[in-house]
Amino acid sequence: MYREFSHFVRKVFTLGFFLFILHNSNLIFPVHAEGEFQTTYNITYDVNELGETLVNENIILKNLTDKFYPSNFSLTIGAFKLDGVLASDSIGQLPVKLENQPKKTVINVDLINQQIVGKEKEYTFNLKFKSTDFSTKIGNVWQISIPKVNSTSKDDIYNLSVLVPVSFGDPATIIPEPEETSEIGGKLKFDYSQEKIINSGILANFGTNQVGDFKIIFNVYNPGFLSKEVLVPIPPNTSYQQVIIKSIEPKPENVIKDFDGNYQALFRLERNQFTTVTVTGSVNLYASPILERKLLTAKEQEGYKTSQKFWEKDSIGVKVKVKELLSSESALSTNEKVRVINKYISETLAFDSERIKSNDFARLGALAALNNPQKSLSSEYTDLFVAMARAADIPARALVGYAYSNNLDIRPLSFQGTKLHNWPEYYDSERGWVMVDPTWQSTSGGVDYFTFFDLNHFVTAIRGSYSILSYPLDSIELKFVDELPNPESKIKLNLDSADLVYSGIPSKVKVKVENLGNYEYESKNLTLSAGRVNLILSRENNLIDGGTEGKVIKTPVIPPLGYIEYEFDLRTPYVWQSFDDVLSLQIGDEVLNKKIEIKPIIAYRFFYPVLISLTLVIFSAYILSLILHLKFPKGHSSR
């Protein structure tokens, strides 16, 4: 995953106070004076074929008074691997000292070569260093991550250029958009002015998709005294990812797709039984949605606006904060409202690394995060986002998954002590479900994880209808590879019915559609038809046409290794009919036919014994009622 760094361009000047007094002697006092200098940064990040970045900062200090000159300059870089740090001016090299601090490096430059005094006078020097912390290749993707500029003075001016090899290809995503793009010397050049980079870092992905093989392990236990069914969530298809399931061991009884879109593997555990479930597969990750936008009904949207444990959207604190943020923003679109909420969370909450060190992964919830923002992990960022979005009447839910990070200080992972990460998504009627990551936007120094997303977030479970996962995974491995296996939905149809059906006697037809392939089978129309017999669907929840030509059912998506079943009642119009018929089951291009024989009820081998028995029962009942009538005539009373 690409590294993002808090290149907090925090400059600290130690200024000499220049004062002409007695005998024209000067006294130098080190001070920190805001507004005494205007600083212009002309910065270039030049990435080579191996991913090493040469950073060249040409810095101009302009005196705004006639009393000061700079004697020292400090630059704080949110990176760790700095090599070949050099500083120089027109006279020659300048002394440089590096100070390693938690999550950052401070470069101190002694400006000893010149003492330029006078209003509007300028002093120019150059700072260079190399680092591998600004670019990363993962699988098929190069990612370039340039931290946000944090200016300490309103007078500062920034101009920034990023150069990358043409061999990286065109960027799949780049945020913010550069003001100018050009090609020079085998490099793509992206130019930015201060307005573009003052509010966010630069994030560029060179590559359209990312492919990985995964292995996930769940430890599942039934502590009860009775057997029970358990559902284990396995990675689903989403708007941003395509999932292939190679194997599930042990084999589940079924795999279904729930309301939130999760794949749920169904297992039956006996009492006090423990089992380890291993899921292997491949995933293709995309930076923007690949599936057609699915519109949610009003009822479905309401399901993603409710208050739940950890998502206290109806609490006074959450409602007041949302009203405060959006009170003057009533005309904003859904996307713009969520941007305000995301900005507040990413800038207010602080990631607490000490909790990770002390193995404290307790989930605190949205209200606790709002009241104590300094104690947050990814769960708190996500829960607060979901609660605030829902309080703003915007559908939102939480995602759990694997997020590749090669720098845990910049992109921390903090879900229940595993390699997993939490991030939210919200629903926009114009765009569908949209993923964001306020945690990493906060910890990366402001790299924008709202406008576009990356290729390193792999969803393993969706939490929307319920805020708690029943069985979170215990371990996950993801290895990036070059190619995705061929997605295959292999359908097997089964018609279970009697070969011989007697007119007038109820009969059942069971339909089963199995997906034996490695990829989900999309929702399609299933048709069961017959020549002359009548078919009645036992449960008509998905029936979209019940005409004379057959029963048409809109099936749900069938996950890999899953199946769906339907049951029909078979009826014949007359009890004396005798004929042959064909049941025809079709879904997509798959067709299964089955011949059945219809015979009149009198051909039933038990017909006559049953008829005689019924006759005897009826006759006996009549005789008994007659005897009772004669013995106890109407109106007779005995005392």
**Domains in the chain with CATH codes:** 11-206 (2.60.40), 209-286 (no CATH), 303-479 (3.10.620.30), 491-602 (2.60.40.10)
User: Judging by beta carbons within 10 Å of its beta carbon (0-12, 13-18, 19+), is residue 625 exposed, middle or buried?
Assistant: exposed
Structure tokens at 629: 């009538």
Q: What is the pLDDT of residues 278-319, one digit of tens each?
A: 999 999 998 778 877 788 999 999 999 999 999 999 999 999
Helix, strand and coil percent figures for the chain, each rounded to 5: 15, 45, 40
Q: Give the list of residues 6+ apart from residue 281 with CB closer than 8 angstroms, or none.
A: 213, 214, 235, 243, 244, 245, 246, 247, 518
- Average pLDDT for the chain: 85
If residue 137 lies in a helix (H) or strand (E), which one and from where to where? strand 135-138
pLDDT for the residue numbered 540: 57
CB 415 within 8 A of CB 463: no
Q: Give the list of residues 6+ apart from residue 124 with CB closer than 8 angstroms, or none.
A: 58, 59, 60, 61, 89, 90
Residue with tokens 């795999």: 255
pLDDT for the residue numbered 533: 87
pLDDT surpassing 50 at residue 239: yes
pLDDT surpassing 60 at residue 32: no
Q: What is the pLDDT of residues 166-211, one digit of tens each?
A: 999 888 888 888 999 999 999 999 999 888 887 778 888 888 788 9
Tell me the percentage of the chain whose pLDDT exceeds 70. Answer: 87
CB 215 within 8 A of CB 460: no
pLDDT surpassing 80 at residue 358: yes
Query: What would the mean pLDDT of 610-614 be, rounded to a whole number?
Result: 71
pLDDT surpassing 90 at residue 21: no
pLDDT surpassing 50 at residue 1: no
Length of the chain: 639
If residue 317 lies in a helix (H) or strand (E), which one and from where to where? helix 316-326
Q: Which residue has the higher pLDDT, 614 or 309?
A: 309
Cα torsion at 609, 611, 614, 615 (round to 10°)? -110
pLDDT for the residue numbered 621: 82
pLDDT surpassing 60 at residue 472: yes
Residue with tokens 């006090």: 272
pLDDT for the residue numbered 599: 85
pLDDT for the residue numbered 15: 40
DSSP state of 93: E
Instruction: Select the highest-mean-pLDDT range: 105-109, 149-153, 250-254.
Output: 250-254
DSSP state of 603: G
pLDDT for the residue numbered 90: 94
Query: What would the mean pLDDT of 43-64 be, rounded to a whole number?
Result: 94
pLDDT for the residue numbered 418: 58
pLDDT for the residue numbered 604: 54
Nearest to 94 by CA among 119, 64, 46, 61: 61
Q: Which residue has the higher pLDDT, 291 or 465?
A: 465
pLDDT surpassing 70 at residue 16: no
CB 170 within 8 A of CB 245: no
pLDDT for the residue numbered 623: 83
pLDDT for the residue numbered 291: 74
Query: What would the mean pLDDT of 388-398 be, rounded to a whole number?
Result: 97
Q: What is the pLDDT of residues 115-168, one digit of tens each?
A: 888 889 999 999 999 998 888 887 778 989 887 776 656 778 889 999 999 999
pLDDT surpassing 70 at residue 6: no
Structure tokens at 499: 């070969």
If residue 480 lies in a helix (H) or strand (E), which one and from where to where? strand 475-481
- In 3-state terms, what secondary structure has residue 390? helix
Query: What would the mean pLDDT of 74-90 be, rounded to a whole number?
Result: 88
Query: What would the mean pLDDT of 40-65 be, rounded to a whole number?
Result: 94
Query: Residue 452: pLDDT band by 50, 70, 90 thresholds?
Result: confident
Query: What would the mean pLDDT of 3-14 be, rounded to a whole number?
Result: 38
Angle at 91 between CA 87 and CA 97, to 5 degrees: 25
